[in-house]
A = this chain, B = another copy of it.
Amino acid sequence: MAVTAQPALDAYRVRADFPIFEQTIHGKPLAFLDSAASSQKPRQMLEAMVRFYETSYANVHRGVYELAERATAGLENARERVATLLNAPAAREVVFVRNATEGINLVAYAWGLSNLGPGDVVVATELEHHSNFVPWQYVARRTGADFRVLPLDDSGELRLDALDALVGGGRVKVVAAGIVSNALGTVNPIETLARWAHEHGAIVVADAAQAAPHRTLDVQALGCDFLALSGHKMCGPSGIGVLWGRAELLEAMEPFLTGGHMIRSVGLERTTWGELPHKFEAGTAPMAEAVGLAAAIDYLEAIGFDAIERHEHELTAYALGRLSELPWVTTFGPPLERRAGIVSFDVDGVHPHDVAQVLDFEGVAIRAGHHCCQPLMRRLGVTATNRASFYVYTVREEIDRLVEGLYRVRKAFS
């Protein structure tokens, strides 16, 4: 990757594109350090959606008239845009869903219900977000397959060495793994995992919800079979996500949601399914949201994913350095080299809710909780952590304000 090809990201300039920063919170400027939960929105994306509604709106695909053609073009261009982002072999492999969670459920139901049974093994990691954990646990229960969890080492990295023992002689059919952990920022070795999975005849379902906003993704290089992401975490609107899947798999699968648009022909006795991607897109699509997502991708690519990754890396290094000055703060997670822009930490003797609450009074927004990672929380021996996460609009001063705020937290609760 030509890491030097893109100019450095100027977060102050980027920030000016985000209207949310034009207000004060509790009388302070907003330091939004919760982008891992959901990102803020640039004006450019909002304008693209509104323009679509104001000039090109109609239901898609079936209309013969001008507005319907424009709306269809908007949706299908967005599909092409996503396919390019992911280096997908074909746009028809891109299915629009509501969020990463729905994308993973689509695979768990439409692939899992027909391909899993007693004697099969489904593997998820202890690091997973509930969204790539519970659907597999649930479909395993429904089909009688075994659900097993790949453990972590003490710094929150996957114990790939435990894989063989984990499946024993079992027939492993699915390996579900996140690319980047939302709780610790761990960047997982998906390529290695995928090689192992394919050697054992399993499919790999990659959760890219936390990777897609921050780094270049290439489904062919990753070697995964399915990949899910959410628009709202990458400057796009709520209400849209993507499931990418290999065409052969998608074509061989049963449909998931059925109804309007996804059919070829409906008879009283028998119904045949439509072609990809329509087969998986029942009902009216999130059209304006797709247009917004495409604009968000344009926005991020104009900044450049390499520049984004470098920017967040620098912020993370800075944050880890500053937090290490506080002896009463413990950070969790892997070393900087294998960590994305996420820092999870604990403040001695103060519950994360109280930390986050006091920081909020300072205008600093962080997340406190289990981050939808209860298995990981148990592994760490906590019920919750504090999490600060960074994005294109994050500046160093916000990290300084976080640290100052933590001193106040310490003072208030000691």
Q: Give A contacts to B, CB under 8 Å.
A: 19-20, 22-23, 25-26, 30, 32, 34, 37-38, 40-41, 46, 50, 53-55, 57-59, 62-68, 98-102, 104-105, 108-109, 126, 129-135, 137-138, 149, 230, 232, 237-241, 255, 257-261, 263, 265-268, 271, 282-289, 353, 356-357, 359-360, 364-369, 372, 374-375
Q: Nearest 8 A-B pairs (CB), nearest first?
A: A101-B283, A131-B259, A239-B239, A239-B286, A37-B59, A101-B259, A38-B59, A260-B372
* Contact between B259 and A353, CB atoms less than 8 A apart: no
Count of identical protomers in the assembly: 2
Chain B min CB distance to A29 (Å): 13
Chain B min CB distance to A151 (Å): 10
* Contact between A23 and B55, CB atoms less than 8 A apart: yes
Q: How far is the CA of A135 from the CA of B357 in the complex (A)?
A: 46
* Contact between A26 and B64, CB atoms less than 8 A apart: no
Chain B min CB distance to A336 (Å): 26
Q: Looking across the interface, which residue of chain B has its beta carbon closest to that of A101?
A: B283
Further contacts, 8 of them, CB under 8 A, given A37-B63, A149-B268: A19-B55, A130-B260, A131-B260, A133-B259, A133-B266, A137-B258, A230-B284, A237-B239
Given A46-B50, A58-B37: A259 and B65 within 8 A (CB)? no
Q: How far is the CA of A284 from the CA of B234 in the complex (A)?
A: 13
Chain B residues near A101 (CB-CB < 8 A) = 257, 259-260, 282-284
Chain B min CB distance to A51 (Å): 10
Chain B residues near A54 (CB-CB < 8 A) = 19-20, 22, 41, 46
Chain B residues near A138 (CB-CB < 8 A) = 255, 258, 271
Chain B min CB distance to A54 (Å): 4
* Contact between A58 and B46, CB atoms less than 8 A apart: no
Chain B residues near A58 (CB-CB < 8 A) = 32, 34, 37-38, 365
* Contact between B46 and A134, CB atoms less than 8 A apart: no
Instruction: From the candidates B232, B239, B367, B375, name the one contacting A63 in the complex (CB within 8 A).
Output: B367
User: Could you jot down 27 A-B contacts, CB within 8 Å?
Assistant: A19-B54, A34-B58, A38-B57, A38-B284, A46-B54, A63-B356, A63-B365, A65-B357, A66-B360, A67-B365, A98-B286, A102-B282, A105-B259, A126-B268, A130-B258, A130-B259, A134-B266, A134-B271, A134-B282, A135-B259, A237-B239, A238-B239, A238-B286, A239-B286, A239-B288, A263-B374, A286-B286
Q: Looking across the interface, which residue of chain B has its beta carbon closest to that of A289?
A: B239
Chain B residues near A367 (CB-CB < 8 A) = 62-63
* Contact between B99 and A232, CB atoms less than 8 A apart: no
Interface hub of A30, A98, A101, A263 (most chain B Cβ within 10 A): A98
Chain B residues near A239 (CB-CB < 8 A) = 98, 237-240, 286-289
Q: Looking across the interface, which residue of chain B has its beta carbon closest to that of A97?
A: B98
Chain B min CB distance to A218 (Å): 25
Chain B residues near A374 (CB-CB < 8 A) = 263, 265-267
Chain B min CB distance to A366 (Å): 7
Q: How far is the CA of A267 from the CA of B286 in the complex (A)?
A: 33
Chain B residues near A53 (CB-CB < 8 A) = 19-20, 41, 46, 237
Q: How far is the CA of A218 from the CA of B412 in the complex (A)?
A: 52
Chain B min CB distance to A363 (Å): 8
Interface hub of A22, A59, A257 (most chain B Cβ within 10 A): A257
